[in-house]
Amino acid sequence: MLKNVPKTLLLFAFFAFLFNSCGSTSKISTKSTTYRKSTTTKKNKNTSAYLLRKQVIDYAKRQEGSKYKYGGMNRSGFDCSGLSCFVMKKVNKTLPHNSTAQSKQGKKIPIKQAQAGDLVFFGRNGKVNHVAIVLENNGRELKVIHSTSSRGVIIEDVLRSSYWKPKLMFAGNILDSY
């Protein structure tokens, strides 16, 4: 039956169907949405800030599963500040290899404002002793990647952790600072 229909007519019908079904029925929303200041880079995916933060997240996630190694700064093993040093170096940001020293870099920000790619600091009695890289912060969960002495490099929601949540101190924006 189809042998009698010219191929060009079939192609025309196919493309007419394809173009008609793809966009003609989509709705255009005219609502304006207000985003928290801390999430604005998520919406504009073409900005250099967004791309830089995405690179940080991608490099950090590639290290998941690495072993913990005191003083470690490479795939054979990381300590917490070694992981953040390694990842930030991949995007041409230099950090000291010490969580306390890293906490003094960049701009100190409240945890609520932390974005993907920022650092979050933990400690006791006002003294920083651990650092992690923020992967996601939506107010209900704070997903980070960090190197722990017991489990190595892991992704974890620290707001659901009875160990890490009470030790949360503040975040640091390293990427927009210099």
Residues annotated as catalytic are 80, 130, 146
Burial (Cβ within 10 Å: 0-12, 13-18, ≥19) of residue 103: buried
- 3-class secondary-structure state, position 59: helix
Residue 157 host element (H or E) = strand 152-157
Q: Which residue has the tokens 């072993």?
A: 67
Show Cβ contacts of residue 157 under 8 Å, excluding neighbours closer than 6 positions: 141, 142, 143, 144
| Reduced 3-state DSSP string for 87-150 | HHHHCCCCCCCCHHHHCCCCEEECHHHCCCCCEEEEEECCEEEEEEEEEEECCCCEEEEEEECC
How far is residue 91's CA from residue 52's CA, in Å, rounded to a whole number? 7
